[in-house]
């Protein structure tokens, strides 16, 4: 558990509070099981240390076309900034990541961006 917390802290410190955290980048630097990583991320959200961010990826694999703080903020159809095509919303394609809250940055002695 300490290794997972340390990995999250290091990622946030290196990015000066701008890191996007998800279970994959935490698992890449730890040997923690996926269920433990997910449990910890959810717990940190519950303690207002992380906030979820939802990313709608381009269907052509060209990166994120839109980011939102809530899935319901996405429109039904979007003109993709990456490929120029229209994409229809599919909740199954949305990726969930997390960002540090000001509260966590203060705990880590990092000035919020």
Mean pLDDT, the chain, integer:
84
Residue 43 above 80 pLDDT? yes
Task: Give per-residue pLDDT as tens, 72-113.
Answer: 999 999 999 999 999 999 999 999 999 888 888 887 776 666
Residue 1 above 60 pLDDT? no
**What's the mean pLDDT in 34-61?**
90
CA distance 44 to 1: 13
- Give the C-alpha distances (Å, rounded to integers) separating 105 from 5, 14, 99: 14, 12, 10
**What's the mean pLDDT in 64-76?**
94
CA distance 23 to 18: 16
- Domain ranges within the chain, ordered by starting residue: 2-107
């Amino acid at each position: 558990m300490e290794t997972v917390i340390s990995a999250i802290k290091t990622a946030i410190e290196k990015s000066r509070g701008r890191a996007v955290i998800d279970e994959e980048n935490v698992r890449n630097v730890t040997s923690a099981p996926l269920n433990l990583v997910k449990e910890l991320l959810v717990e940190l959200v519950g303690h207002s240390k992380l906030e979820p961010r939802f990313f709608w990826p381009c269907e052509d694999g060209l990166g994120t076309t839109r980011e939102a703080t809530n899935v319901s903020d996405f429109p039904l159809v979007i003109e993709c900034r990456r490929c120029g095509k229209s994409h229809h919303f599919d909740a199954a394609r949305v990726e969930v990541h997390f960002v540090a809250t000001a509260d966590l940055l203060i705990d880590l002695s990092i000035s919020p961006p």
